Structure 1
Amino acid sequence: MIDLDDIDRAILRELAGDGTLSAGEVGRRLGLSQPAAWRRVRRLEEAGVLAGQRVEVDRAALGFGVTVFLGVKLATKGRVSLEDFERAVQAIPEVQVVQHVLGLFDYRLRVVARDIADFERVLRRRIMTLPGIGNVEANVLLTEERRPGPLG
């Protein structure tokens, strides 16, 4: 684990808001020289604190207006391996995130669909036919906001 000072945290907040900022721009915003900002960003990358840049895709703009979180409990863990389930679920393009979790469910899935009818089709034809599928609970996303998290 790396020790972070206030400047490191400020750099992380800036980059969390916009991962495309150059070291020079980060430095200008924080009152650092470009080389000093670059050295700090590089140190955070080497320590694994910064792990790449991501592009955020607006799913609604692409026609995927519905997001559903599914809690999935496998019917019998002994008959179907977790790896078989994970491999099969990852082959479904509408499933954007697969999380193996501890608690009431075995997995949490983030599923996108064009509309509720499209989600129902994905659920019936793809998800409910997965190996070992048992109970499924659906929660439709109404709104989502970004939170700054522990760096804020």
Structure 2
Amino acid sequence: MTDEMTDAVTDAMADPITDPATAPIHWTPVADLVAIPLERAVPVRVGAAQVAVVRLIDGSIHAVGNRDPFSGAQVMARGIVGSICVGGTIHRTLVSPMYKQTFYLATGRCTTDDQVCLGTWSTRVVDDRLEVGECVVPPTTTDVLSA
């Protein structure tokens, strides 16, 4: 390989368009921030994914998969936003309306089975408008109870 070819390969690898590690995140505008009620989950579509977005009273925003991995139903946006205390630390949660499993909003993980995950998506607010980015932690893709 010539030096020119090596330089071209190196440049292509560092190009944010071709290098997934540095590629820009694609953001999907989903709603005006004031349209998202506090302490409630709302369903949004981000590309092909159905996502449940939660805006908490402290101003934080979480986006988790809308698919309940235990039932396979797209229902997490109808779940109950709450909290649990683990080791003296309060964790915000979302409870499935189907079989009542509880999931951590920060990680998407089930509180009773850390192998099961709703998945999480990045979020940001730009000009008082909520945008959801790419999936950060992938969701469990099989129905847990039927597996």
TM-score, L = length of structure 1:
0.26
**Who wins on radius of gyration, i.e. which is larger?**
1
TM-score by length of 2: 0.26
Q: Which has the higher strand share?
A: 2
Which structure shows the higher helix fraction?
Answer: 1
Q: Which has the higher contact order (CA 8 A, sep 6+)?
A: 1
